[in-house]
Chain A
Amino acid sequence: MSTTRTLRFRVFRFNAETDYLPAYKIYDLEVDEHELMLDVLDKIKWTKDGSFSYRRSCRHGICGSCAIKVNGKSIIACKDNVFELADLFETDELIIEPSRTERAVKDLIVDKKDFWSKYDAVKPYLVAEIDEHPVKENLVTPEDAELINEADQCIQCGVCYYACPAVEVNPDFIGPAALAKAARFTTDVRDDAKLDRLEIVNELGKGIWDCVKCYECATACPKGVDPIGKITTLHNQTFEEDMAEDNVATRHAVGFKHAIARHGLLDETEIVRYSEGTFGMVKHIGVGLDMMRAGKVVMPWNMHNSKNLDEVKKLIKSSSTTTFKGK
């Protein structure tokens, strides 16, 4: 027998033309164990209030229309089971909100202009001379095809984008979805614009170096795209293709190798100096002094090394796969 439960839904309602502030309306609904969040939205619209507005289409996780947030969790409504959400949050009351309340236009419908402009920014298409009447396909090994596979599963639902804290505080950050899209093409052996794309995603303040490494995107993605994994791919390709500019971000990544080669362990003052340059240290003086007062700074002469440091040095020599010249 299928079981049902009565759950309470606190739903974000807003009309940008007439309302100054949103209101949260309460709907109590009986929900079946197989029902998904989209069923709840439909039930509210079809049985409680027809003016309730949200986007949806395919209802089975492939079109990417119905991104929303439930208790702060960024989801597509047609993929998350209602009971599972209630159990996850140990509650009988779920809060339904748009993906980004600040961008709400009507109820759960948000203005996604920001999302699509970033999609556009990475040249989201294969750049190649296209044979309009081919008699033979490009030969691509299954291994090469597999490299693209994860990123190519992306349905542009925006779940990762609206889960990303860096996007939230830095509107210029391209964000996980568009970066994954960029990686989908930079890993495609048929693409001719790898370097162009790497240049776009390398810009400080906008691109891959602004990722905070919180893994919210990978956790939220309903399609297994692992966007942060794709951001790492772009990081790696930046160095492999010698596209890395000599700046604080690239030096910071490279600096770890130097630090480990020297001590095994990280000299924290040195990594800041290495990344920022001696002159760039000036802006850290305040924090540095605070830390020194609290006894948090290890002086260079006190820095100690990992035991068997020669092993580490040997491995760094034998296992390094890239070099950094700086552009």
Chain B
Amino acid sequence: MSKLRYALFAGCTPKGSTPELMMATMAVAEKLGIELVELEAASCCGASHLQDFDDFLSVVLNARNLCYAEKEGLDMVTVCNTCQLNVAGANLRLKSDSKLKNSVNEKLAEVGLNYTGSVQVKHFLYAILEDYGLDNLAEQVVKPLREMNIAPFYGCHNIRPTDIAQDSNGGESPYMPTSLDNLIIALGGNSIDYESKNKCCGFHADLQAPHTSHALTGKALLDAKDNNADYMVTPCPLCHLNFDTQQKNAAKAAGREIGLPVLHLPQIIGLALGIEPKKLGLDKHVIDTQLA
């Protein structure tokens, strides 16, 4: 297999409040021989909120982000579901709406850039699944996640809306997603089936509607817990923020103890590949990852 190379759209959270995700991503990529070329010029994707204020501006900024991947001649990889939604979403809109593309390019020309639509955007999860391959990954496993009951939590924006998921994430079904389950199994873990795995964590209403957000966070965590999960794993750092840093608030809202450690996708891969926990930032969680 020729060496996989991607442009990495790191996003803000992995460089801010979830540094462990960035550490784990880089460590895993290195171990698997995947080259991630970080787009240091990239700006924030707008997190699905900027579009509410100024939709056009949000598309322009993401078009600029895409230009940098195009410059590298590399497909783009994201490590956050919401980055995926916004960047891949802009890519899809620009590819299918030539009027929009022209007006965006007019703006980009002012800074010497031009969007052509030549790159794909996929979340790291699907880069591993589709490009690296689960069989290959399984071969690299040195410490299978045996006796670990892991609840996969997919996160909305990798699986919905379906047009974007289909264009970029291999058409994962929003109703019966399997990628994360299959990955857990490939790593030797036991994947938990539970109703909330494709539901919403509530993150995007955290500030505006905290009650809604905490209720949803608690519901998902408890559903996983009640189905005997030792850990939850998610490909999205925003889901992770809610599940980890807001877990106490969610427990308060639910009126029940929770105490469920939540891991990032590359952290469980890293563990199975034998990378030491410290390098995966497992000490940088609010909910103790040794809890289980």
Contacts and interface: CB of A to CB of B under 8 A. Distances in A.
Interface of A: 71-73, 88-90, 165-166, 169-170, 173, 204-205, 209-216, 218-219, 228, 232, 235-236, 239, 248-250, 252-257, 259-260, 264-268, 272, 275-276, 286-287, 290-291, 293-298, 304, 306-308, 311-312, 314-316, 318-322, 324
Contacts of B216: 165-166, 169, 212
Contacts of B48: 213
Interface of B: 12-13, 15-19, 40-44, 46-57, 60-61, 64, 107-108, 110-111, 113, 156-157, 160-162, 173-176, 195, 199-200, 202-205, 207-209, 211-213, 215-216, 219, 245-246, 248-249, 283-286
A282 B19 CA distance: 24
Interface centre among A73, A235, A315 (most CB of B within 10 A): A315
A298 B56 CA distance: 30
Given A89-B175, A215-B156, A248-B207, A315 B64 contact: yes
Contacts of B215: 169-170
Given A257-B54, A307-B40, A170 B286 contact: no
Nearest to A265: B12
A296 B284 contact: yes
A89 B17 CA distance: 36
A276 B210 CA distance: 12
A90 B176 contact: yes
B111 A254 contact: no
A164 to B, nearest CB: 9
A293 B249 CA distance: 17
Contacts of B57: 257, 315-316, 319-321
Contact of A291 (B15, B17, B108, B208): B17
Nearest to B63: A315
Contacts, number: 209
A239 B54 contact: yes
8 closest A-B pairs (Cβ-Cβ)? A215-B160, A235-B52, A214-B200, A266-B12, A169-B215, A249-B208, A256-B50, A307-B41
Contacts of A296: 16-19, 245, 284, 286
A295 B175 contact: no
Contacts of A253: 49-50, 52-53
A40 to B, nearest CB: 18
A165 B200 contact: yes
Nearest to A290: B286
B205 A211 contact: yes
B12 A294 contact: no
Nearest to A306: B43
Given A214-B200, A248-B208, A249-B207, A268 B13 contact: yes
B257 to A, nearest CB: 16
A204 B231 CA distance: 35
A32 B225 CA distance: 40
9 contacts: A170-B209, A214-B199, A272-B207, A311-B41, A311-B64, A312-B43, A312-B61, A315-B108, A315-B110
Contacts of B40: 306-307
Contacts of B18: 296
Contacts of A322: 53-54
B245 A291 contact: yes
Contact of B200 (A173, A212, A254, A265): A212
A213 B64 contact: no
A287 B208 CA distance: 16
B263 to A, nearest CB: 14
B209 A210 contact: yes
A265 B246 CA distance: 23
A89 B211 contact: no
B211 A169 contact: yes
Given A169-B211, A296-B17, A314-B111, 9 more contacts: A213-B48, A253-B50, A257-B57, A287-B249, A293-B286, A295-B284, A315-B61, A319-B107, A324-B53
B111 A315 contact: yes
B160 A214 contact: yes
Contact of B16 (A72, A248, A266): A266
B195 A216 contact: no
A228 B200 CA distance: 14
Contacts of A71: 175
A169 to B, nearest CB: 4
A166 B202 CA distance: 8
Given A214-B160, A298-B17, A205 B209 contact: yes
Contacts of B211: 169-170
B53 A212 contact: no
Contacts of A256: 44, 46-47, 49-50, 53
A297 B212 contact: no
